[in-house]
Amino acid sequence: MHWRKFNGDIIDLPIKGAVESAIKKETNAGYKLKVCIGTDSQVKGADTEFATVIVFLREGRGGFMFIHNDKTKVVYSIKERMLVEVAKSIEIVYELCDLFTLYDVDMEVHADINTNPHFKSNEALREAMGYILGMGFAFKAKPEAFASSSCANKVVN
């Protein structure tokens, strides 16, 4: 799994090591961190492209993010695609959650699913919310889910 920074720099460490290094650096600099993890996708021709982001927020001081892109030829219904996005986020959260506990960093999972029932993505809301909350993680959906709906949305290839 290849990760990069927003400026395009490749992250050479395994993601867990890179996240731990970032947490240490930021907390040593005196920042209180919050991490938001989300995934967005776009269908482009025969491909479904995904972007997963780990957004680090420095309380009152901006933030930065790590990005992973991948794509597949699998054709999904809108509901399936929303749930695959959530599963990709959860996979990363699960790998990193012990770091967030160890360093006392607040973490949220952001789902690019609309809370308004007039949008097709809303079909996946109950299942996604149950999945995330059932694992014990904090959850945000649109319009509060900026990690997926804004950050990941900007970096889907």
Q: Which residues contact 110 (CB under 8 A, 6 or more apart)?
A: 36, 37, 38, 89, 140, 141, 144, 145, 146, 147, 148, 149
Tally the domains of the chain: 1
pLDDT at residue number 114: 84
Q: Which domain holds residue 117?
A: 3-155
pLDDT at residue number 121: 79
pLDDT at residue number 120: 81
10-residue mean pLDDT series, the chain (157 residues): 93 97 97 96 94 95 95 93 94 96 96 85 86 90 90 84
Nearest of 25, 12, 101 to residue 64 by alpha carbon: 25
